[in-house]
Amino acid sequence: MLIEINESTHPIIMDIRYATTNNFTGQVIYKKPLCLIHKDALVLFEKAIVLATNQGYTFKVFDAFRPQAAQEALWNICPNDMYIMPPTKGSVHTRGIAIDLTLIDANGVELDMGTPFDDFTEQSHHGASLPAIIEQNRYMLLGIMTTAGFDFYRNEWWHYQMFNPRIYELIQDDHGIM
């Protein structure tokens, strides 16, 4: 079961990149900037929101549930399984149990994570050799998300997902996003 989250339902900032051209493809992939998340992942995300708020941060959300057609479009543009899950394997985003995000400070400034969202280089990996402030910012996000119960993907500082993703079905309906 997917649940919509937005700035009215939660204290977050929405920036659904695939509903704009401000993404690695330069194309609009989603027709509607909806942010949907599986009810089980929402429980963890709400814990993460509390943890972030207690540290003086707000989340900016880039993506969550991703329809299969969108996964196929992304794969067709970047068929690199280090960053895009092949559609035939089934993405955790297409299961509704992943979320891509960053942190905003109390002044409304996005923390410097060293690379933009969807930067498909080694600099986007956890553990990349980066300036101390960037490492600190990434560790803050990592600490909040893992303390809330999420797993992380080592190649993308912005990507968090539930453990045991295969127990969740691939979602065939695009829920009005495409």
Which residues are catalytic, by number? 156
| β-bridge partners, 168 | none
**Residue type (1 letter), 94:** T
Number of Cβ within 10 Å of residue 10's Cβ equals 17
Q: CA-CA distance, 174 to 70, in Å (whole number)?
A: 9
E strand map for 54-140: 58-63, 98-104
- Which amino acid is located at 151 in the chain? D
How far apart are the C-alpha atoms of 29 and 18, rounded to whole Å?
5
Rounded to whole angstroms, how far apart are CA atoms 68 and 66?
7
Whole-number CA gyration radius for the chain:
15
Measured CA to CA, the distance from residue 56 to residue 92 in angstroms comes to 29
